Chains A and B, each alone.
Chain A
């Protein structure tokens, strides 16, 4: 029931998000059609503005954008103004949905693979660090995890491309043509998050190790590792699970740097470029997409959280 309520609530939430994004994007000066080369006559500017309705007040533009506008034509008949959310203002022959169709699989692939990579590296790191806590393995792994969180992606990306792509010629440096092309971007993106995951896992494990029924099981005589693995893992992984929602969202939205360094046709570059180009349907469209993905992810994560943690009650 709670989850159904959440889903129902999502719709006005998305509407609110689209409104905020719409207004925000229209704020800065500079419309999508401003260029180095001025339009040949003011008539052309007028025509463009009339065509894309950029001369109307903002609330009207917004209603038109979501397809909630009706108007009278010359004959006095009411008809529905076609919803404006699909028309990109910069790529005049492409629709926003075209862009999403080609860009989303790429961003999703990279995001998911980076997620798996971070988990695959981070979880074992955290586990080992916690089980050997206080010893040199713990210190080393903790240091590595911290390091990975402190180096910015815009340094790691080009460095990886240089070392593995140019100097060692092992992997392709850019573009998106085969599974091999995904390796460097995924690593560049995933390193940061693997560090976070490792630290969270370690903290979760350490917290669990104090737990009551663990001490009980210890009394039963199970070995430390077995103990941690079978009983502790379920609770220890909780912080990681709650972080996975925002993490996956960040992976999807924060891929801009990786996409621009490796020239990947994902959505991150489109979002930033649309902001630069004042292509507001594209911006709002992509923002809505992210919001939908985020809300969906949060829902799944909350569900997992409730399933895993007996202490949580939703009602």
Chain B
């Protein structure tokens, strides 16, 4: 392609043409862009800044808290948790009997309950849902919650192929019988847990993996799914066919997957969001100002922040070293200077306020004792102590850098009190988890949020064969204590055994060191919104929420 140079006049015409074309193209694309891409829809009655984008809304495979909040509105189970006391109360099952040995539960499903699309919900649906959660093909991370049921663990491990052998059976359309392996004091709490919620067989059999894309999506909870736009919002509306629909007040609710605390605050301050209810969405540096406000609500929470030692690596194979490092940490300083959200320093693992349990005292802050122990272990004053790495997940984007801050403080404390040197190792979160699982770390940051209101959810993890142990610490004495505790029907005896186990874990063996207990945090205006109660599990069923419409900002 060649151009002959033409006379200026011809060129200016060509130039004008060219300019005109360019301008036209730009204008057209702008118009297309502007009109095509916005979703105009009615404003929701309640907008909640929820936390991370949900990976899935399938009750059997979700793991995270932000997913659970949405799923609990869509799919319910035999029981649900009371919004104030988090004690299990009847939901889809209106009554039940338990045999005196605590091994057999018989649930009576409410008559006439239906899916939001009209089909009846029966005991067979529960059998289907629970077996599906246990099915190895579903690959549910939380299948372990069902292992208290007879043969459930073997079925999940593939040792048994016949689902009929699993201890859950529908005696008839309204009656469900469950056989347990041993008495489980918190089984009714588990029935309110998402993994045991009932899922629509009709949709799953029809659509397979994409059943959540079906519209309308049959739901068994107080709300049904209107739309789910990735990284944008999840919108739910009131399910008129819910058994307790008369008590559901809010019509339309939006869940926003907000990534950073600052954005969440911006949205809240401008009225675009009515509630912030995820403690990760709190900018910790500003907490001292925020907590003075009337709309901030903090409460104790069933979660602990701790770190793990890899006890298979030197020098952490020596319990004295671990104990010394634990004694050298001033937890009160951490919560005062770094986290600042009113968290409580933790010297024991199970948070205070756990049902039926009073945790024992653990190791405190005693730098003198720490130095003595370290010297005993062969590293007086920190000499010859190898330089080690503390692994944590590096914050991406606007996420809080709290793990980094804590790491910096720990580094300083260990250097000051013990004379040992530590390096910070920030990695991607998936890399952190992988390294934890494969014991490829030296010291790494962890946390645990209780699944149900019982000490077992914290202490059971550190049994020798539990997948969540991830420290390499195997101790038959501890295993036995936990096993014995779980066999007890007597609450006091159970508590005693758990206390003994926890004391052993945290004061003698110390494979982990708890740092603080999470504080729950909600931000909402009590004049506008009620029904969100501070409870230890931070569960807030939408069914209980009330919005004061006269106070609504627009």
Contact = CB atoms under 8 A, between A and B. Distances in A.
Interface of A: 28-32, 34-44, 47-48, 51, 90-95, 98-99, 102-103, 105-106, 108-109, 112-113, 116, 119, 158, 161-162, 165-166, 169, 172-179, 181-182, 213, 217, 230-231, 233-234, 256, 260-263, 265-266, 269-270, 272, 275-278, 306, 308, 310, 313-314
B397 A94 contact: no
B38 A179 contact: yes
Interface string B218-258: 00000000000111110000000000000000000000101
Contact of B437 (A38, A90, A176, A314): A38
B335 interface: no
A44 B156 contact: yes
B139 A44 contact: yes
Contact of B230 (A113, A116, A265, A310): A265
B262 A91 contact: no
B57 A93 contact: yes
Nearest to A43: B157
B385 to A, nearest CB: 27
B429 A43 contact: no
15 contacts: A37-B141, A41-B144, A43-B157, A93-B212, A162-B266, A173-B266, A174-B266, A174-B272, A175-B272, A176-B232, A213-B5, A256-B397, A263-B259, A263-B263, A314-B1
A103 B231 contact: yes
Contacts of A265: 229-232
B267 A41 contact: no
B18 interface: yes
Contacts of B231: 102-103, 265-266, 269-270
Contacts of A51: 137, 139
Interface string B57-80: 110010100000000000000000
A41 B154 CA distance: 10
Contact of B136 (A47, A90, A176, A230): A47
Identify the 4 closest CB pairs spanning chains A and B, nearest first.
Answer: A38-B467, A30-B430, A40-B144, A34-B433
Interface in B470-498: 470
A166 B437 contact: no
B2 A313 contact: yes
A123 B55 CA distance: 44
B396 interface: yes
B37 A105 contact: yes
Contacts of A41: 143-144, 153, 156-157, 467
Contacts of A92: 55-56, 58, 61, 209
A182 B34 CA distance: 9
A115 to B, nearest CB: 8
A264 to B, nearest CB: 8
A21 to B, nearest CB: 17
B467 A109 contact: no
Nearest to B38: A178
A9 to B, nearest CB: 19
B18 A47 contact: no
Interface stretch (B8-16, B124-132, B350-358, B530-538): B8-16
A7 B467 CA distance: 52
Interface of B: 1-3, 5, 8, 11-12, 14-15, 18-19, 26, 29-30, 33-34, 36-40, 55-58, 61, 63, 136-137, 139-144, 147, 153, 156-158, 209-213, 229-233, 256, 258-260, 262-263, 266-267, 269-270, 272, 396-398, 428-435, 437, 440, 446-448, 466-468, 470
Nearest to A89: B55
A166 B5 contact: no
B431 A37 contact: no
A276 B396 contact: yes
Given A28-B431, A35-B63, A310-B5, A230 B263 contact: no
A174 B267 contact: yes
A38 B260 CA distance: 26
Nearest to A40: B144
Contacts of B446: 36
A313 B1 CA distance: 6
B3 A310 contact: yes
B263 A44 contact: no
A28 B263 contact: no
B270 to A, nearest CB: 6
Contacts of A178: 38, 40
Contacts of B466: 38
A217 to B, nearest CB: 6
B533 to A, nearest CB: 26
B2 A165 contact: no
Nearest to B259: A260
Contact of B39 (A177, A217, A276): A177
A261 B37 CA distance: 20
Given A40-B147, A263-B258, A272-B396, A166 B431 contact: no
A310 B2 contact: yes
A90 B61 CA distance: 11
A163 to B, nearest CB: 12
Contacts of A29: 431, 434-435, 440
Nearest to A49: B139
A234 B158 CA distance: 72
Give the interface centre of B14, B18, B57 by most chain A CB atoms within 10 Å. B18
A38 B470 contact: yes
B399 to A, nearest CB: 9
B38 A30 contact: no
Given A231-B8, A314-B1, A32 B430 contact: yes
Contacts of A262: 263
A52 to B, nearest CB: 9
A98 B61 CA distance: 20
A303 B40 CA distance: 38
Contacts of A270: 230-231
A194 to B, nearest CB: 15
A29 B36 CA distance: 40
B256 to A, nearest CB: 7
A173 B262 CA distance: 11
A173 B432 CA distance: 33
Contacts of B19: 233
A35 B56 CA distance: 15
A93 B213 contact: yes
Contacts of B269: 166
Contacts of B398: 260-261
B230 A99 contact: yes
A177 B230 contact: no
A29 B19 CA distance: 52
B161 to A, nearest CB: 13
A34 B433 CA distance: 5
A31 B470 CA distance: 17
B260 A91 contact: no
Contacts of B260: 260-261
A200 to B, nearest CB: 16
Contacts of A48: 139
A239 B317 CA distance: 64
A269 B413 CA distance: 37
A112 B32 CA distance: 10
A116 B278 CA distance: 38
A169 to B, nearest CB: 7
A112 B28 CA distance: 11
